[in-house]
Amino acid sequence: MDDIIDMNENNDEIISAEFAGTSGSVRISAEVVSTIAGIAAEESKGVAYMYTSFSGVIAEKLGTKKGQTKGVRVEMNDGSVSVDVYIVIKYGMRVNDVAAGVQESIKNNIETMTGLDVSAVNVHIEGVCFEKAEKQVPSDKKNEIIADETEDDIED
């Protein structure tokens, strides 16, 4: 397996791994690995969402960075992959458990889907998401609550 560095039409570096096969070769780009890692991280228990910087948000809006690759950085060297993921976790979750789950999920998914060796998965916890719990009001009671509040306001 060889690492290959190409340039695309924008002169951006494209890193890929190439496998020699019996009927040709297979090239896996870093973007593919990044997409696999991003989806695996987002689906992990305790992850609220992937973190991205302001410049990452701008790049996504301009279409130069896809949603599944935000918050993910991939390096491919000598047939092995190193991944850095930047996540925001849900409030109340144990940080070490979430990070370990993300690491395991990313490593398993990349190795299973691509056959590449994952040398490291570095998880960067960038924040905590505090979700407000909304009161669950049955739909048939919503009108009664609004009517009661209106009557109280009129009496005052």
pLDDT band, residue 114 (cuts 50/70/90) = very high
| Mean pLDDT of all residues belonging to the chain | 77
Of 49, 41, 35, 23, the closest CA to residue 114 belongs to 35
Answer whether residue 27 shows pLDDT above 50: yes
Q: pLDDT at position 25, please?
A: 80
Non-local CB neighbours of 97 within 8 Å, separated by 6+ positions: 46
- Compute the average pLDDT of residues 56-61: 56
Domain boundaries, the chain: 30-155
Answer whether residue 88 shows pLDDT above 50: yes
- Compute the average pLDDT of residues 93-106: 97
Phi/psi zone of residue 11: left (φ > 0), alpha (ψ -120 to 50 degrees), beta?
Answer: left
Q: pLDDT at position 9, please?
A: 45
Cα(61)–Cα(81) distance, integer angstroms: 28
Which tokens in the block code for residue 70?
A: 């935000």
- Compute the average pLDDT of residues 71-90: 93
For the four alpha carbons of 110, 111, 113 and 115, in that order, the dihedral sign comes to positive
Phi/psi zone of residue 70: left (φ > 0), alpha (ψ -120 to 50 degrees), beta?
Answer: beta
pTM of the model: 0.68
Answer whether residue 98 shows pLDDT above 70: yes
CATH architecture designation of domain 30-155 = 2-Layer Sandwich (3.30)
